[in-house]
Structure 1
Amino acid sequence: MPSKRGVRLAALAVSVATLATACGLGSADTGKDTSAQGEVKGQITFQTLQLKPTFTKYIEGVIADFEKKHPETDVKWVDIPFEGAQEKITADASAGSLADVVNLNPQFAQALEDKGLFLDMDKAAADVKDAYVPGAWDAFTVAGKSGSFGIPWYLTSEVTMYNKDLFKKAGLDPDKPPATFDELLDQGAVLSEKGKGDFYGIHPALENRFITDLAKQGVPIIDEDGETWTFNTPEAVAYLEKLVKAYQGGTYPKDSLTQDHSKETEAYQGGRIGLFPSGPNFLAIIKENAPKIAEATGVGPQITGDQGVTNMSVMGNLIPKTSKNQATALAFTKFLSNAENQLAFSKIVTVLPSTKDSLKDPYFTGEGDGSVEARARRISAEQIAKAENLVPVQYDQRMTAAVIGQVELALKGDLSAKEALDKAVEAANKITKK
């Protein structure tokens, strides 16, 4: 049985991505931006989201190495559970008592960034900026504001997992998975037709995928000022019409319309769907929960549009201006996310480093042991160079509920695709104005 590290990080990626940014901070004390000048000494607190106990040995090892390099420092690691994390971080921000280094994703960080709570890393960490994948660094920017407010840590980049046995049963080439949206829908339709109710092509997983898929196809999701949602374009309408046709034509399981990513994972593990676009970290979950499905699983590139743009998910570390030891906090953040430490982390769990030099390592460029995991790792690493965090940081749980609710009505035939997207944009803009 495989290590549970991959399972833990897969859960982390999904759980963190669902943290909402709908928090009202009022006039939080933002402190002063000192550009993290000063001596590297004294105590700091580093806060993560549910990394213990799976990654305790690794994190404690990095801390020990940092303290050895800087003998006058003391790094206190605080790990908090997912449950209640949003409330705690929001309360700490309002009270001006955030940890010195806070581990967050861009979507959750945005509400705090917008209030000016964090150091601008374009200034404070300008000396290391070029070491990181540009798309990962830019993930912590805020529309309408200059600067970037976090240092990227680890990344994930979706691949397309597929069941080779079901491909063979459907008469599809098991060595040619889909690479574009049209191919995904076409192959999904063939699988469902041949499955005759025993298995289907794909699961919609709308809340996890719809907006990202529009962005991959060049649909402008929000205006440059980050204030007005714009994803009801003719191109978006045309794509939603394809999804309507797929759903009503039986490509998706009928009971899947309102189901989330966890149900999609269960369906793939159960052999009930043939295609599963998701993070390669889910290969560990499939291997642990469904060994026979894992043996039949192949992997292909991320589904993209005509321009080949790929998406990435980003986790990073941010330093509040309220930190009383910004110099040490910045030094530790740089150390934790340097090429050497990120490469070591990536070798114990299925994630990608955000540093360019790490991605050049043979571990990511070579064929490895020839396993599906090694292939997924290489494909993901190749995609990162042109990948972006395509989902606007303003797209939170409130937006998701409003948008996907209208999309579901379109798939059921209650609204036209254009009506659904017009209503979705209208609802999203009302939320933004609030």
Structure 2
Amino acid sequence: MPSSRGVRLAVTAVAVALASSACGLGSDGSSTDTGAASGGGKVGGTITLETLQLKPTFTDYMNGVVKAYEKSHPGTTVKWVDIPFEGAQEKLTADAAAGALPDVVNLNPQFAQALESKGLFVDMDQAAADVKSGYVPGAWEAFAVPGRTGSFGLPWYLTSEVTMYNKKLFQKAGLDPEKPPTTFDELLADGRKLSDAGHGDFYGIHPALENRFITDLAKQGVPLLDASGKKWTFNTPEAAAYLQKLVDAYKGGVFPKDSLTQNHSKETEAYQAGRIGLFPSGPNFLAVVKQNAADIAADTGVGPQITGPDGAVNMSVMGLMVPKSSKNRATALDFAKYLSNAQNQLAFSKIVTILPSTLSSLKDPYFTAAGDGSPEAKARRISAEQIARAKNLVPVQYDARVTAAVIGKVQLALQGRLAPQKALDEAVDAANRITGAAG
């Protein structure tokens, strides 16, 4: 659900081939007339919903939700537009400048932050106060903007990383195939044993730095920003010590030599090719591995998310925003609540390996029972247990520009061209210049 860094939720739409159905969609959480719950004004007329890369895999599901809403709200029309994940942030920025944002837009916190910071979205703390208590607290808080009051998105669907691992490779390395690592030190130690046993045929871990590095610092208690939420501060001695461990791991052959500049998609390819033994990622990627490498999927075990000493758990979040520019805000808010209500989220979760952001949905036996004992069922139960205490640990300001600057310095450290502390000092300086906090 890792993360854009762990955060790859919308990519599920093209990565997982699942049949979808709109059966059993309910109307919880939706109003049928005027009232504060819908932001004032009468529900009716036409709105446009824009989502991220849900077609064609989830066309049936989304059309079913839209038709059910229109049926229960006579005189209402929802026009559904779906756009590719790639280029979405740029498109929405251009639409905002042109005053052409849709009435309801599907975004993650990192994509949304540039528009949130300009005050373009409705404050859900006010407009959706009647439903706030029904959502996972950490997911609701993900759409807050440092320095501003309120939260600007309704949480929709989530993922919480689990640790997938190759049991056959564990056995070759003399590791217990029923005992995956749970901490960073255990992850690196098991990774070293795997690489030693692989002799170049397979390795322990793929670093997937752009997806994982900053999240892993946060999970280990490193303060990424100062109290004002404006200045980057992750160049601590503790962060440098962790980066030194990564440097040692790279020198010791724990990571594939060609992996330093590779992203999460290459990590996925490496795992399903049997080239790495450990694969911390969103549970939705179990289906990807099963589809592309059935033999690896058959050998895959699942454990909880890798955490630091405090047990902090990260989540990736997708949400629904309502622009203040909407000419039909009452209907837009009402439909956003409907699309993200407990009943509809539970139905969505049953056709794709994601988690609902609604607390009551997470209590359903689908998430709490052992199921069929498959890795997918185990991952579903583990990630659902984690999500109640999870947070979106990556600040919304950590956008693509900051990521590129930071990871560039981290790569230099792993290559031995910068000392870890120096690399992080330079990374912090670069990040502060990008976000305007230098000086």
TM-score bracket for this pair, using the shorter chain length: over 0.9
| Distance 1:124-1:59 versus aligned 2 partners, 3 A rule | same
Which one has a larger percent helix, Structure 1 or Structure 2?
A: 1
Aligned pairs, number: 410
Matched, 1:305 2:308: yes
Which stretch has the larger CA shift, 306-315 or 67-76? 67-76
5 Å-filtered alignment, 1:379-390, equals 379-390=382-393
Read off the aligned partner of 1:238 and give its amino acid letter. Answer: A
Matched, 1:278 2:245: no
Partner of residue 82 from structure 2, selected from 79, 82, 88: 79
Partner of residue 149 from structure 2, selected from 116, 130, 146: 146
Q: Distance in 2 between matches of 1:137 and 1:382?
A: 17
Question: Residue 326 of structure 1 aligns with which residue?
Answer: 329
Q: Distance in 1 between matches of 2:416 and 2:274?
A: 28
Question: Residue 405 of structure 2 aligns with which residue?
Answer: 402
5 Å-filtered alignment, 1:250-289, equals 250-289=253-292
Read off the aligned partner of 2:283 and give its amino acid letter. Answer: P
Question: Residue 342 of structure 2 aligns with which residue?
Answer: 339
| Distance 1:324-1:50 versus aligned 2 partners, 3 A rule | same
Q: Distance in 1 between matches of 2:75 and 2:395?
A: 40
Q: Distance in 2 between matches of 1:224 and 1:132?
A: 26
Question: Residue 434 of structure 2 aligns with which residue?
Answer: 431
Q: Distance in 2 between matches of 1:402 and 1:346?
A: 35
Read off the aligned partner of 2:317 and give its amino acid letter. Answer: V
Question: Residue 377 of structure 1 aligns with which residue?
Answer: 380
Instruction: Report if aligned partners of 1:177, 1:299 keep a CA contact under 8 Å in 2.
Output: yes
Structure 1 gaps of 5+ residues are 1-5, 14-32
Partner of residue 223 from structure 2, selected from 220, 223, 229: 220
Q: Shift of residue 347 of structure 1? A: 0.1
| Distance 1:251-1:137 versus aligned 2 partners, 3 A rule | same
| Distance 1:10-1:422 versus aligned 2 partners, 3 A rule | farther
Read off the aligned partner of 2:12 and give its amino acid letter. Answer: L
| Distance 1:432-1:96 versus aligned 2 partners, 3 A rule | same
Look up the SS of the partner of 1:293 in the other structure. Answer: helix
5 Å-filtered alignment, 1:9-408, equals 9=12, 36-408=39-411
- TM-score calculated relative to the size of structure 2: 0.91
Instruction: Report if aligned partners of 2:158, 2:355 keep a CA contact under 8 Å in 1.
Output: yes
Read off the aligned partner of 1:250 and give its amino acid letter. Answer: G
Deviation by residue 1:262-304 (Cα, 9 ceiling, x = unmatched): 1111110110100000000001110011010000000000000
Q: Shift of residue 7 of structure 1? A: 9.9
Q: Distance in 1 between matches of 2:133 and 2:143?
A: 15
Q: Shift of residue 42 of structure 1? A: 0.8
Q: Shift of residue 101 of structure 1? A: 0.2
Alpha carbon RMSD of aligned pairs, Å? Answer: 1.7
Deviation by residue 1:288-335 (Cα, 9 ceiling, x = unmatched): 110100000000000000111110000000000000111100110001
| Distance 1:400-1:7 versus aligned 2 partners, 3 A rule | closer
Q: Shift of residue 50 of structure 1? A: 1.7
Instruction: Report if aligned partners of 1:144, 1:224 keep a CA contact under 8 Å in 2.
Output: no
Q: Shift of residue 10 of structure 1? A: 6.1
Deviation by residue 1:387-421 (Cα, 9 ceiling, x = unmatched): 00011100011111110111111111111110010
Q: Distance in 2 between matches of 1:422 and 1:254?
A: 25
Look up the SS of the partner of 1:387 in the other structure. Answer: coil
| Distance 1:250-1:84 versus aligned 2 partners, 3 A rule | closer
Read off the aligned partner of 2:376 and give its amino acid letter. Answer: E
Percent sequence identity is 73
Instruction: Report if aligned partners of 2:280, 2:306 keep a CA contact under 8 Å in 1.
Output: yes
Deviation by residue 1:184-222 (Cα, 9 ceiling, x = unmatched): 000000000111111110011100000000000110101
Q: Distance in 1 between matches of 2:37 and 2:187?
A: 50
Instruction: Report if aligned partners of 2:70, 2:77 keep a CA contact under 8 Å in 1.
Output: yes
Look up the SS of the partner of 1:255 in the other structure. Answer: coil
Structure 2 gaps of 5+ residues are 1-8, 17-35
